[in-house]
Amino acid sequence: MTRWISALALALLAAAARSASAQSLSDLRKLYDAGQYQQAIAAASSAQVSGDEQPRVTYLVAQSHQKIGHRDEARQVYGELAARGDDDPWRDIGRSAVALLAADAAAALDAANQAVARGNALPEAHYQRGLALSVRQDMANAAAAFEKATELDPSWADAHYYAGLAYSKVRRIDLTASHFDTFLKLAPQSPSRPEVQSIMRTLGGK
């Protein structure tokens, strides 16, 4: 009896360990939003996501590498997306991200525009377009692109962060405050929190 109970306890512990290691896209984003980029990269290897979500995890891993200055690793992971099929919008998202790493703003925007054309319902397509437009200092259109990304995925903290930044550049204080408020609620432990609060104070926000 004691041996059976011990075996059952070990089985339950093993199941708990598997459950703890199983990561959803939401779980990975929480790590990313808290500035735990290395942990997000490590956890992504055991992520339990659908086929449609897998490229979103790959994109998050590449962004995490960028955040910690691993440009070569980020380029390699973005390259995995860029190697997808010709009609896949993720291919163009990957190509755009690789072009941005190479400081080729024109190619980055061209690829991002193609991503939006092929995947208008994909929030990352609009987000990547916003990044490309930001590099070109087209902040009004960048803000609109990030806005679209937040409409398609309201729980994406980073999209709200960049929307707030872009709107702050065009002095849309109301929209800056709205997106930054949402960002702070979604990512209360973000390392960008002091920056966001500083911008809000400067613009007369909260």
Q: Which amino acid is at 194?
A: P
Residue 72 has pLDDT above 60, yes or no: yes
Give dist(CA 115, CA 89) in Å, integer.
Answer: 4
Q: List domains and CATH numbers for the chain.
A: 138-206 (1.25.40.10)
Quote the pLDDT of residue 10.
38
Give dist(CA 45, CA 58) in Å, integer.
Answer: 10
H and E: helices and strands count for the chain: 12, 0
Give dist(CA 93, CA 95) in Å, integer.
Answer: 5
- Local confidence band at 113 (pLDDT 50, 70, 90 cut-offs): very high
Q: Is the pTM of this model over 0.95?
A: no
Give dist(CA 142, CA 109) in Å, integer.
Answer: 11
Spatial contact of 126 and 152, defined as CB atoms under 8 Å apart? yes
Quote the mean pLDDT of the chain: 88
Spatial contact of 78 and 63, defined as CB atoms under 8 Å apart? no
Residue 206 has pLDDT above 50, yes or no: no
**C-beta neighbour count of 206 within 10 angstroms:** 10
pLDDT digits (tens, 9 = 90+) for 75-98: 999 999 999 998 999 999 999 999
Quote the pLDDT of residue 50.
74
